[in-house]
Structure 1
Amino acid sequence: MKQTQISYAGAALSLMTTYLASGTPIPLYGRYQMENGVSYMALSLSSVLYFVGAVTALLFFGRVSNFLGRKPIALATILLAGASTLCFMTITGATPLIIGRLLQGLASGLASTAMAAWVVDNTRAVPRWLTPAILSCGPMTGLTIGGVGSGVLVEYGPDPRHFPFYIVLVLLLCCLALLVMSTDSVIHKSGALTSLKPQLALPSSARSAFPVAACTFVCTWALGGFFQAFGPAMAQHNLHSSSAVAAAFVFAAIMAPSSIGASLAGRVSAITAQKVGMYSFTLLLGGILFFLYQGMLIPFVITSILAGIAQGGVLTGSIQTLVTDLKQDERASVLSLIYTSSYIGAAIPTLIAGRMSESYSLFTVACGYGVLALLGCIYVYAFHRQKAKTLATQESHYS
C-alpha cells in the first residue's frame, strides 16, 4: 500500500473511530436514568455540551493543523477521545456524563478539522466520490457502529457498564498506531498562535453555495441531535421497548444508512443530490413522526433508515458544492465552518428540546423538527428555483 493510502486510511478510520467513541454511551442512557437518577434535562445538557465542545474546537483550533501539521492534532484528538472514554467508566451521576460528553465534543471537533483535512489532502489516492462520502457520513457511520455495538454488548455482553468502553480503548490504540505510521501532509510552520483567533471565512469558490448548504446541515444534524439525546427514551416510552438493542437501533436507523445515500449521491451532480436528498428527507421525516405517534417500532425504524439514506445524499451533495477546487490552506477553514454550522444547528434545537421535554411529550417535541425540516425544504426549493431563473435570464441575454 502506498504511503498516501496509509495516511488516507489512518485519517479516515481515526475520524470514524472518534465518533464511534461518541456513540458508545448512548445505549447506556436508560441505565444511567434508572440506576443513577440522570434526568432528561441532564441527558439533553450532556448532548448540548458535546456540541459546545465540538464548536469550541472548531472555532479556536480549526486552523491549527495548517501550521502544526495534521498529524500532531490527530494524535491529540485520539488522546482526548481516550480520556472521555475513561470518564464514562466512572459514571455515578450526571457530572461524569456531562464531562465525558464535553471531552468527546472537543475530540469530535478536532477530528472534523485536522483528520478531515488530512483525508482531503490525500484524496488523489482514492476514487473521487469517496472523500465527500467520508466527510459527510464518516461521523454518522462511526456514531452508528458505536451505538449499535454498544447496545448489543450492553444487552448480551459481560459488565455492560464497562466492557463496551474497553473495546473503544483498544480501537483508539489501533488508530494511534496507524497515525504514527502515517505521513503528515503539512509542513510545520510559524503562525499557530495567530490561528487560534476564530476566523470563519469562505473562499469565493464556496461563498455562493454556503447558505443553502448550511440550511441542509442544520436540518439534518438537528434531527441527529434529537435521536442522540432522546433515541433510548423514544424506544422505551413511545415505541414500547426497553431493550438496549432496540434503543441502539432507533438511534442507528437515522445514522447508519447515510453512507448508502452518500454512495448514491456520487452518481449524480452535487446539486441534484442536494435537492432530491432534502425533499426526500423532509417527506420521510413526516413518516417518522406518524409512526412515532402510532407507536409502531418496525415501520418507524424502516422509515428512519430511508430518511438516513436521504440524509446521506443531501449532506454529500452539499459538502461537494463547498469543497470542490479548494486550495490546501483553505480546506481546514472551510471544513471548520461546515461542521460549526452543523453542530450549532444541532445544539440549539437540542437545548430547546431538553427544556420542552419537561412540559411536553417527546412526540410534540419531535414535531418541531418536522417543522424545521419543512422550512429548510422550502428554502432549498426557492434557492434553486431563483438560481435557475437567474441562469435562464443570463443565457437569454447573451443569446
Structure 2
Amino acid sequence: MSRRRQLPELSRGFTFWLIATVQALLLFASSAPSPLYGVYQAEWGFSAIMLTAVFAMYAIALLVALLVVGGFSDHVGRRKVLGAALVVEVVSMLLFITADGVGPLLAARVVQGLATGAATGATSSAMLDLQPPDRPRIGPLVNSLAPVVGLALGGLGSGLLVEYAPAPKTLVYALLLVAFVLSALIVPLLPETSPKRPGAAASLVPRMAVPRRIRPLFLTVAPCLFAVWAVGGLYMSLGPSIAARTLHLGGHLVGGLVIFAQTGAGALGSLLRRNHPPRRTMTLGFVAFLIGVGTTLGALAVPSPALFFTGIVIAGYGFGTGFLGAFQTIAPLAGPDERAGLVASMYVVCYLGFSVPAVIAGLAVRRFGLGPTTTVYSVSVMVLAVVACAGLLAQERREKRAAAGVPHLGTPEPQPAPPAVPAADADHR
C-alpha cells in the first residue's frame, strides 16, 4: 500500500490546498517585479533590452531547474524538493530587498527562477498525488489555476503597493519573505506522497521526461502551449511599456492591471470550463486566444485603451482555458512515478514560450520600435496558434477514425496489448 493511501482523508485534503497555496505564492512572487520595472528603469537608467533580459533571466533559470530537477521529486520525495526550493526562494527575496542596481536585480531573478522551477515539478505532482479518487479532475484544475491566480494577484498586488504604499522597491518583497519563511517551516510537517524510485542521480541529466506512449499527443499540444505563454511573456515584460507609450496610460498600477486582466481572466476561464470535455476546452481556449490577440492589435492601431483591455481579457480567457484543457488531457496519462517529469516537461514548453520570444522582442524594440515589434510578435504567435490548432484537430480526427476501425493513411499498425492511452484519452473526448 502506498504512503498516499495511508494518509487520513482530512490530512490529504489540507495538504492538497496548502501545496496549491504555496504554488500560487511562488507565481505571485514571480510577477511581483513587473510593475516595478518602470521604477527600476527610471532610477537605474537601463534600456528595453535590459528590461526583457531581467525578465528572461528568471524564465531561463526556471527552465534550467525544470530540466535538471523537474523529475527529482519522483525519486527523493516531494517534501525534500519543495523544502529546498523554498529556502532558495527566501534567498531570492533577500536579494531583491538589497538590490541597488541591474546586476543584483539579475541575480535575484536568476535565484528566483531556480527556486520556482525546482518547486514546480514537486508541487504539481503532489497535487495529483493528493487529489480525491472520486474527483479526478480537481488535480489538473488546481494545477492550471494556481499559477494564473498567483500571477494575477502578484501583478495587481505589487502594482497597488508600488503606487500607494511606502518603500515601493522593498515592501512587496519583505511581505513575501515572511510568507516564504513560514511556508518553509511548515514543509517538514507535511506528509510525503511520492512512492519514490531509484535513479535519483540519473534523473539530474537534463531531458524532457515524456513517456513514449504520450509523446504524439504531447507534441501536438506543445505548440499551442508555447504560443499562449509567449503572449503572457510579452505583456509580463513589455506590458507596462506598451500601456504607457502606445496607449498613453500613466502610473505604475497600469502595468499590474495589464497582468491582472490577462491572468485573472485565465483563472476565471479555468473555473468556468472545469467540468467540460478537456479536448473541447483546449480547442475553444486557443480560438478565444486568437480573437483576443487580434483585438489587442486593433486597439493598438486605433489606439483605444478600452479595446486593448477587452482584448487582453479575451486572450487571457483563452490562455487559461487552453492551459487547463492541455493539463487535463495530458497529465492524468502519467503514472505516479512519472508525474513530476511529465509536468516539468509541459512547463518547459510553457516557459520557453514565456522567455525566448520576449528576449527577441526586447532586441527588436531597440531597432524597430515598440509598436511594430508588438504587431509582428502578436501576428507571429497567432500564426503559430492557428497551425497548432489545425494539428490538434487533425490528431483528434485520426484518433476517432482509429477508434472506429477506419483505415487511415499514415496510421501505424495496431500493436498487440496496446497501452492505456486510447482508453484514457477517450474519456477526455
If the length of structure 1 is used for normalisation, what is the TM-score? 0.94
| 1:226 matches 2:234 | yes
Tell me whether 364-373 or 329-338 shows the greater mean CA deviation.
Answer: 364-373
Q: Does 1:345 align with 2:353?
A: yes
Please give the residue correspondences for 1:179-218 in structure 2 after superposition, counting only pairs within 5 Å. Answer: 179-186=187-194, 190-218=198-226
Equivalent position to 2:344, from 336, 339, 342: 336
* Farther off after superposition, 353-362 or 184-193: 184-193
Gaps of 5+ in 2: 1-8, 408-429
Q: C-alpha deviations, 1:23-53, integer Å up to 9, x for none?
A: 1111111010111112211111112211111
Cα contact 2:137–2:328 (8 A) shared by 1 = no
Question: Superposition pairs for residues 15-30 of structure 1, below 5 Å?
Answer: 15-30=23-38
**Residue 369 of structure 2 corresponds to which residue in structure 1?**
361
Distance 1:330 1:390 in 2: 24
Count of aligned positions: 398
Aligned counterparts of 2:94 and 2:247: Cα–Cα separation in 1: 32
Aligned letter for 1:377?
V
1:122 & 1:228 partners in 2: Cα distance? 31
Worse-matched range after superposition: 366-375 or 214-223: 366-375
Provide the residue aligned with 2:423 in structure 1. none
For residue 275 of structure 2, what is the aligned residue in structure 1?
267
Superposed counterparts of 1:272-311, under 5 Å: 272-311=280-319
Structure 2 residue 145 is matched with structure 1 residue 168: no
Paired position in structure 1 for 2:335:
327
Unmatched 5+ stretches in structure 1: none
Hey, what's the Cα distance between the residues in 2 that align with 1:394 and 1:33? 57
Match of 2:383 in 1: 374
The residue number in structure 1 matching 2:393 is 384
| Distance (Å, rounded) in 1 between the aligned partners of 2:286 and 2:329 | 15
Distance 1:181 1:144 in 2: 29
Q: Among 10, 31, 34, which residue is 2:39 paired with? A: 31
Aligned 8 A contact 2:221 2:392 in 1: no
Is 1:110 aligned with 2:118? Answer: yes
Residue among 131, 150, 172 paired with 1:123: 131
How far apart are 1:210 and its partner, in Å?
0.7
Percent identity over the alignment is 27
Q: Tell me the amino acid that sits aligned with residue 27 of structure 1.
A: P
CA offsets 1:32-83 (integer angstroms, 9 cap, x no match): 0111112211111112211111111011111211122101111111122221
Residue-by-residue CA offset, 1:81-113 (whole Å, 9 max, x unaligned): 221111111222211111111112112211220
Q: Give 3-state SS (helix, strand or coil) of 1:328's partner.
A: coil
Q: TM-score under structure 2 normalisation?
A: 0.88
Please give the per-residue CA displacement for 1:243-269, whole angstroms capped at 9, x wherever unaligned.
111111012211122111112332221
Letter in 1 for 2:249: S
CA distance in 2, matches of 1:319, 1:174: 29
CA drift of 1:353 comes to 0.5
How big is the shift at 1:182?
1.3
CA offset at residue 130 of structure 1? 2.8
1:205 Cα deviation after fit: 4.4
CA contact (8 A) 2:85 2:118 kept: yes
Deviations 1:296-335 (A, max 9, x none): 2232123211221111111111111111232111101101
Q: Contact 2:220 / 2:388 at 8 angstroms: preserved in 1?
A: yes
One-letter amino acid of the counterpart of residue 372, structure 1: V
Deviates most, 384-393 or 54-63: 384-393
Q: Deviations over 1:131-168 (max 9, x none)?
A: 22222232222122111101101111121111111111
Q: Is the aligned partner of 1:395 residue 2:399?
A: no
Distance 1:3 1:58 in 2: 28
The residue type equivalent to 1:62 in the other structure is G
Matches of 2:51 and 2:306, distance apart in 1: 25
The separation in 1 between residues aligned to 2:48 and 2:215, in whole angstroms, is 39
Tell me what 2:14 maps to: 6
1:48 to 20, 41, 56: 56
Cα separation, 2, equivalents of 1:267 and 1:125: 16
Go from structure 1 to structure 2 and tell me whether the alpha carbon gap of 1:392 and 1:169 turns closer, same or farther (over 3 Å shift): same
The RMSD of aligned alpha carbons is 2.0
1:88 aligns with 2:118: no
Do the aligned partners of 1:10 and 1:175 also contact (CA within 8 Å) in 2?
no
* Residues 53-72 of structure 1 mapped to structure 2, 5 A cutoff: 53-72=61-80
Task: State how far apart, in whole Å, the 2-side matches of 1:393 and 1:175 are.
Answer: 48
Equivalent residue of 2:161, what SS? helix
SS in 1 for 2:52: helix
Deviation at 1:375, TM superposition (A): 2.7
Do the aligned partners of residues 85 and 276 (structure 1) sit closer, same or farther apart at CA in structure 2, a change above 3 Å counting? same
TM superposition shift of 1:380? 1.2
SS in 1 for 2:120: helix
Quick check: 111-120 or 188-197, which moved more? 188-197
2:295, 2:310 within 8 Å by CA — same for their partners in 1?
no
